[in-house]
DNA sequence: AGGGGAAAGTCATCAGATGAATCCTGGCCG
DNA sequence: CGGCCAGGATTCATCTGATGACTTTCCCCT
């Protein structure tokens, strides 16, 4: 096993076994390097790996600390790399997003509070009022994040946040067709928010799924034309059909 | 911005913009370090970060290559860290898994081939025949992986594989109650496989969801007793109810 | 008691040298 | 002519030592 691997797995093991707890400061580089039997340089590379994965967090001048190890810490590490996905992979992500958005919408409808409903509709009004595509995108994100929050599963909420961040990079609202898409999107939001307000999980799930499907369709239509054939990975016609 | 950050984002940008394509070899450390304006050591730390995230892959003596950037490459980076999640977070993961397993089961039922059905039942028979908990766990994994494969979404399949790997660490089958749990699990599998064989998406989804829920229940029952109260994060009674 | 500054502790970065693995090239032999 | 093999070139892996930057702590002075 290489030196960096030794340091990486050694450090990870110390965290997994609880010898280093969440939030705790790990020993200084020199000390830990000696204990693990690697040089400071190799240890630092292992530390950077765990930092990239959201497990630890070095602070210049202070020390290196184990993160809180909350699911969103771990999930968040995807946000830096998910945008490197080529388009075909992105469409697979959309299918996951569709299923999960439908789920959180249904759960949010079952558990909603009056505050949630109030927040959702005020976000909708702000969305309908603005002309700035960037602001609209931001409000759209907050709208969906609020629904995810109401579903009371922070892990799921952060996973969906990562997926949405990836989609937002394409900025469909800035296209010539933007205003039209915006109106359609706003209408979707009203249907979804109304279903949640009515405590109707089935309708909420359907509205959320339709909304994501619509977004996906725009992406397929307006984005990279995908070179013809020879890819062998495209499905035939129908999208899915089953479930939910 | 720090030197490592400069190297990290610079390198990521080169990949995002296509200057470095999937599978391509990146310039040697000395050369790239000079171009990015950082020392070899700092560049190496940035390279390790991207490697931990599944974006690039250094090969000793040969060079450092951009990965294929397939979704499973990116998702796979979670497998090293997801097992560090404490139990409360794991239960949130289970909810996601439940929803997604139900989805892939339904989709598999709609798209199944005779070969898939044959494979599923042969795995079931192998599971029922073995006494080795480790082998049973391995076969269980392959059973669910086969269903995910039939759903024709590699990203989703690899995500579920990561989730399952996390659960397997607990090795419930090695408990005193193991044999009993195994029989129940086997029965679940037969119901699920039968629904898929019958091309019945609804039943398949229900069976998959019930199976995951059952597994989750075992984990709650037999694992770390979770210190009483004071946590404030536990839900009341009902699990979910809506959707699927 | 409070403020300021020095000192210690720790991570960040760089430079240079050496080892290890792989790849390539050219010559040798069958 | 083709295959094998040895040696050099290329590249990543690791270590060592030194210096800079940032944070925290603590003590002294007011």
CA–CA dist B234, B236 (Å, integer): 7
Span B10-37, average pLDDT = 96
Asked if A153 and B95 count as a contact pair (C-beta separation under 8 A), the reply is yes
Span B213-227, average pLDDT = 74
Task: Determine how many CB atoms are found less than 10 A away from the CB of residue B176.
Answer: 7
Q: Report the DSSP beta bridge partners of residue B63.
A: B59
H or E, element range at B53: none
Nucleotide nearest to A59 (CA to C1'): C11
Q: What is the DSSP string of chain A?
A: --HHHHHHHHHHHHHHTTSS-TTPBPPPHHHHHHHHTS-HHHHHHHHHHHHHTTSEEEETTTEEEE----HHHHHHGGGGTGGG--HHHHHHHHHHHHHHHHHHHHHHHHH--HHHHHHHHHHHHHHHH---HHHHHHHHHHHHHHHHHHTT-HHHHHHHHHHHHHHHTT-GGGSTTHHHHHHHHHHHHHHHHHHHHTT-HHHHHHHHHHHHHHHHHHHHHHS----SSS------S-------
Span A66-87, average pLDDT = 92
Q: CATH no. for residue B33?
A: 1.10.10.10
On whether both B88 and B174 belong to a single domain, the answer is yes
Q: Report the DSSP beta bridge partners of residue B64.
A: B26, B58
Q: Decide if B51 is inside a domain.
A: yes
Distance, angstroms, CA B73 to C1' C25?
A: 35
The Cα of A129 is separated from the nearest Cα of chain B by a number of Å equal to 33
Nucleotide nearest to A32 (CA to C1'): C10
On whether both B100 and B157 belong to a single domain, the answer is yes
Q: Decide if A131 is inside a domain.
A: yes
CA–CA dist A171, A239 (Å, integer): 24
Task: Determine how many CB atoms are found less than 10 A away from the CB of residue B61.
Answer: 4
- For residue range A192-236, list pLDDT tens digits in order: 999 999 999 999 999 999 999 998 888 887 665 544 433 333 333
Angle between helices A87-111 and A133-150 (to 10 degrees): 50
User: Is the CB of residue B4 inside 7 Å of nucleic acid strand C?
Assistant: yes
On whether both B93 and B208 belong to a single domain, the answer is yes
Q: Does the pLDDT at position B162 exceed 60?
A: yes
Q: Given A69, A96, A122, which residue is the final one in a domain?
A: A69
Q: Which of residues 21-80 of A touch strand D (CB under 7 A)?
A: 37-42, 45, 59-62
| Among the partner residues A52, A70, A74, nearest to B52 by beta-carbon distance | A52
User: Is the CB of residue A44 inside 7 Å of nucleic acid strand C?
Assistant: yes
Distance, angstroms, CA B10 to C1' D20?
A: 23
Can you read off the two tokens belonging to residue B55? 């974006």
Q: Does the pLDDT at position A52 exceed 50?
A: yes
On whether both A104 and A216 belong to a single domain, the answer is yes
Kindly list the residues from chain B whose CB atom is less than 8 angstroms away from the CB atom of residue A17: none
pLDDT at A115: 95
On whether both B60 and B155 belong to a single domain, the answer is no
Q: CATH no. for residue B129?
A: 1.20.120.530
On whether both A84 and A62 belong to a single domain, the answer is no
Give the phi and the psi of residue A78 in degrees, each rounded to 5.
-70, -25
CA–CA dist B86, B68 (Å, integer): 32
On whether both B36 and B119 belong to a single domain, the answer is no
Task: Inspect the interface and report whether the beta carbons of A93 and B154 lie closer than 8 Å.
Answer: no
| Among the partner residues B49, B93, B95, nearest to A48 by beta-carbon distance | B49
Task: Inspect the interface and report whether the beta carbons of B78 and A82 lie closer than 8 Å.
Answer: no
pLDDT at B167: 79
On whether both B91 and B165 belong to a single domain, the answer is yes
Q: Decide if B110 is inside a domain.
A: yes
Q: Does the pLDDT at position B2 exceed 70?
A: yes
Write down the residue that tokens 């569709």 correspond to.
A98
Q: Decide if A162 is inside a domain.
A: yes
Span B15-38, average pLDDT = 96
Better-scored residue on pLDDT, B37 or B229: B37
Strand D nucleotides, any atom under 7 Å from protein beta carbons: they are 10-18, 21-24
On whether both A54 and A100 belong to a single domain, the answer is no
Top residue of B26, B74, B100, B109 to mutate, by most chain A CBs within 10 Å, is B74
Cα A89 to Cα A57, A92, A102, B51, B174, distances in angstroms: 30, 5, 20, 19, 38
Residue B3 burial (CB < 10 Å; 0-12/13-18/19+)? Answer: middle
Kindly list the residues from chain A whose CB atom is less than 8 angstroms away from the CB atom of residue B85: 69, 71, 74
Top residue of B38, B48, B86, B159 to mutate, by most chain A CBs within 10 Å, is B48
Give the phi and the psi of residue B184 in degrees, each rounded to 5.
-65, -40
Q: Is B226 left (phi over 0), alpha (psi -120 to 50) or beta?
A: left
| Least confident piece of the model among A36-40, B31-35, B180-184 | B180-184
Task: Inspect the interface and report whether the beta carbons of A240 and B99 lie closer than 8 Å.
Answer: no
Q: Given B14, B35, B69, which residue is the final one in a domain?
A: B69
Q: Decide if B216 is inside a domain.
A: yes
Task: Inspect the interface and report whether the beta carbons of B242 and A49 lie closer than 8 Å.
Answer: no
Task: Determine how many CB atoms are found less than 10 A away from the CB of residue A79.
Answer: 15
On whether both A125 and A200 belong to a single domain, the answer is yes
Q: Which domain holds residue A40?
A: 3-69
Q: Given A69, A95, A123, which residue is the final one in a domain?
A: A69
On whether both A16 and A52 belong to a single domain, the answer is yes
- For residue range B67-126, list pLDDT tens digits in order: 999 998 999 999 989 989 988 888 899 999 999 999 999 999 999 999 999 999 999 999
CA–CA dist A52, B53 (Å, integer): 7
* Domain total in chain A: 2
On whether both B143 and B46 belong to a single domain, the answer is no
The Cα of B142 is separated from the nearest Cα of chain A by a number of Å equal to 21
CA–CA dist B23, B69 (Å, integer): 8
Q: Is B63 helix (H, G, I), strand (E, B) or coil?
A: strand
Distance, angstroms, CA B31 to C1' D7?
A: 26
Q: How confident is the model at residue B234 (pLDDT cuts 50, 70, 90)?
A: very low
Sheet bearing B56-59, strands edge to edge? B25-26, B63-66, B56-59
Cα A68 to Cα A60, A71, A129, A168, distances in angstroms: 18, 9, 39, 28
Cα A170 to Cα A43, A83, A110, A136, A204, distances in angstroms: 38, 10, 32, 14, 26
Q: Decide if B243 is inside a domain.
A: no
Task: Inspect the interface and report whether the beta carbons of A96 and B244 lie closer than 8 Å.
Answer: no
Q: Decide if B230 is inside a domain.
A: no
Q: Does the pLDDT at position A132 exceed 70?
A: yes
Q: Decide if B229 is inside a domain.
A: no
Asked if B42 and B7 count as a contact pair (C-beta separation under 8 A), the reply is yes
Distance, angstroms, CA A182 to C1' C8?
A: 59
Cα A99 to Cα A116, A216, A229, A241, B167, distances in angstroms: 22, 13, 28, 12, 22
CA–CA dist A49, B55 (Å, integer): 12
């Amino acid at each position: 096993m290489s030196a960096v691997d030794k340091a990486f797995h050694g450090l990870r093991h110390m965290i997994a076994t609880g010898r280093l707890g969440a939030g705790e400061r790990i020993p200084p580089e020199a000390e830990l390097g000696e204990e693990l039997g690697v040089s400071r340089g190799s240890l630092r590379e292992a530390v950077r790996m765990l930092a990239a994965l959201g497990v630890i967090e070095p602070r210049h001048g202070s020390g290196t600390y184990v993160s809180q190890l909350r699911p969103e810490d771990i999930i968040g590490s995807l946000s830096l790399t998910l945008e490197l996905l080529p388009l075909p992979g992105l469409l697979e992500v959309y299918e996951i997003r569709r299923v999960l958005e439908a789920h959180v919408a249904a759960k949010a409808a079952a558990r909603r509070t009056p505050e949630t409903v109030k927040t959702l509709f005020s976000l909708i009004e702000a969305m309908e009022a603005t002309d700035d595509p960037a602001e609209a995108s931001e409000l759209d994100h907050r709208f969906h994040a609020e629904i995810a929050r109401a579903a009371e599963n922070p892990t799921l909420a952060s996973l969906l946040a990562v997926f949405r961040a990836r989609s937002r990079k394409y900025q469909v609202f800035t296209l010539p067709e933007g205003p039209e898409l915006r109106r359609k999107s706003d209408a979707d939001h009203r249907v979804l928010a109304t279903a949640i307000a009515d405590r109707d999980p089935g309708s909420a799930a359907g509205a959320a799924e339709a909304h994501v499907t619509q977004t996906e369709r725009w992406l397929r239509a307006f984005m990279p034309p995908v070179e013809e054939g020879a890819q062998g990975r495209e499905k035939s016609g129908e999208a899915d059909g089953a479930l939910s």
